């Protein structure tokens, strides 16, 4: 079991300086957003040293919980084909390999911290388009599926619920975990968005294009009611992608800042009302203005921090 000597005063946050590697700032994938998000949380006083945990690369055995050894080795050594990299939409480098392994390790660490302290947030993760033997859509390895399997294999959980609220369906996660009875996949995503060939999650919920706060939150509430009837989990992994935001360039939905915050707060409150540990990952988010994108991503750790502090206040004896 993972132990920290003292409960952090602020929300446990997982980060690594390896997340934002050297990258063409004009590339479609906004690699700088991770560093900018971390800097923003420092400025806000949310990331304060004692509550920041630096991730380490996942081991190959951990990666093999969800991926084939052949794919892991091929990507790690740079023997991945140009066609495969085109599907990924990324540019291979040794830095990218280290960044990717470290991000997977970060989601595993976030799950350990959530188990210890009830709630934790990873400033990366949510690479839910990666399949067992290939990467897709900016996702090399599937950190959510790996972490879910890790929780089961290590005995930290008997039933993991994945609530994926990224605007895109968690197709890779659904496929990898389709026969895993101890993992339940729920994806709430835009009906007409990528991936255009959807997989079958345990619960798929499609949202109409251009849906705003009211419609989306009604769908969310209905989904949580369905989960109440469908499963009795003991751990939640929550992908709170910011790409549902009205200003996201790939999202096709119309949630405002308030709508995103209400979404995050509701999922966290729902899980914590059942005393379920919640490990949050930031998921997708896309904008040419990387500072603005980091601000939108910060809505998730801000909401998680508020709930974490509220719970700490309630635990203080009067």
What pLDDT sits at residue 315?
Answer: 72
Q: How far apart, in whole angstroms, are the C-alpha atoms of residue 14 and residue 219?
A: 30
What pLDDT sits at residue 260?
Answer: 98
- Say if residue 14's pLDDT is above 80: yes
For residue 287, the enclosing domain spans 13-310
Is residue 124 in a domain?
yes
- Say if residue 96's pLDDT is above 70: yes
Q: Where is average pLDDT lowest: 10-14, 22-26, 31-35, 304-308?
A: 22-26
Residue range 175-189: mean pLDDT, rounded: 98
- Say if residue 318's pLDDT is above 50: no
Residue range 118-122: mean pLDDT, rounded: 98
CATH of the domain at 205: 3.40.800.20
Is residue 101 in a domain?
yes
Q: Return all residues near 79 (Cβ < 8 A) that are at least 6 apart.
A: 73
Residue located via tokens 């390999």: 97
What pTM does this model have?
0.96
Residue range 143-167: mean pLDDT, rounded: 98
Is residue 2 in a domain?
no
Q: Would you state the torsion angle of the CA atoms of residues 150, 156, 159, 164, taken in this order, to the nearest 10 degrees? A: -60
Is residue 7 in a domain?
no
3-state secondary structure 90-158: CCCCHHHHHHHHHHHHHHHHHHHHHHHHCEEEECCCCCCCCECCECECCECCCHHHHHHHHHHHCCCCC
What pLDDT sits at residue 317?
Answer: 53
Q: Return all residues near 183 (Cβ < 8 A) that are at least 6 apart.
A: 145, 148, 149, 152, 159, 160, 162, 177
Q: Which two tokens stand for residue 184?
A: 């339940």
Q: Which two tokens stand for residue 316?
A: 């203080």
Q: pLDDT tens-digit profile of 130-153?
A: 999 999 999 999 999 999 999 999
Q: How far apart, in whole angstroms, are the C-alpha atoms of residue 177 and residue 181?
A: 8
Is residue 77 in a domain?
yes
Number of folded domains in the chain?
A: 1
H/E run at residue 270: helix 257-273
Q: How confident is the model at residue 5 (pLDDT cuts 50, 70, 90)?
A: low
Pair 315, 58: CB distance under 8 Å: no
- Say if residue 105's pLDDT is above 80: yes
Is residue 65 in a domain?
yes
What pLDDT sits at residue 1?
Answer: 52
Strand, helix or coil for residue 37: helix
Residue 290, CA distances (Å) to 30, 206, 300 in order: 7, 28, 16
Is residue 34 in a domain?
yes
- Say if residue 107's pLDDT is above 60: yes
Q: How far apart, in whole angstroms, are the C-alpha atoms of residue 123 and residue 142?
A: 15
Q: For residue 280, give the nearest of 6, 15, 2, 8 by alpha carbon.
A: 15
Q: For residue 301, give the nearest of 254, 221, 240 by alpha carbon.
A: 240
Is residue 317 in a domain?
no
- Give the mean pLDDT of the chain: 96
Q: How far apart, in whole angstroms, are the C-alpha atoms of residue 306 and residue 318?
A: 20
H/E run at residue 228: helix 213-230
């Amino acid at each position: 079991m993972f132990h920290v000597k003292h409960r952090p005063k602020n929300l446990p946050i997982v980060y690594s300086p390896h997340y934002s590697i050297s990258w063409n700032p004009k590339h479609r994938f906004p690699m700088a957003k991770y560093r900018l998000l971390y800097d923003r949380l420092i400025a806000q006083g949310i990331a304060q040293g004692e509550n920041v945990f630096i991730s380490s690369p996942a081991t190959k055995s951990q990666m093999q919980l969800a991926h084939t050894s052949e794919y892991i080795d091929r990507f790690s050594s740079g023997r991945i084909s140009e066609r495969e990299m085109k599907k990924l939409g990324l540019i291979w480098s040794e830095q990218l390999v280290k960044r990717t392994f470290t991000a997977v390790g970060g989601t595993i660490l976030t799950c350990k911290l959530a188990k210890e302290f009830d709630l934790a947030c990873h400033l990366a993760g949510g690479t839910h388009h990666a399949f067992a033997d290939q990467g897709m859509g900016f996702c090399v390895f599937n950190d959510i599926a790996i972490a879910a399997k890790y929780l089961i294999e290590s005995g930290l959980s008997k039933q993991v619920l994945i609530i994926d609220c990224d605007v895109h369906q968690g197709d890779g996660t659904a496929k990898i975990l389709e026969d895993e009875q101890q993992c339940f996949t729920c994806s709430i995503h835009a009906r007409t968005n990528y991936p255009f060939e959807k997989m079958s999650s345990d619960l798929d919920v499609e949202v109409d294009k251009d849906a705003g706060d009211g419609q989306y939150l009604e769908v969310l509430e209905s989904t949580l009611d369905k989960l109440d009837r469908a499963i009795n989990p003991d751990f939640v992994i929550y992908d709170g992608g910011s790409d549902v935001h009205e200003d996201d360039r790939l999202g096709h939905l119309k949630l405002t800042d308030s709508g995103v915050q209400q979404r995050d707060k509701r999922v966290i409150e729902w899980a914590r009302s059942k005393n379920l540990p919640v490990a949050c990952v930031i998921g997708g988010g896309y904008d040419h203005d990387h500072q603005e994108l980091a601000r939108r991503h910060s809505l998730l750790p801000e909401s998680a921090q508020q709930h974490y502090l509220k719970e700490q206040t309630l635990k203080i004896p009067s």
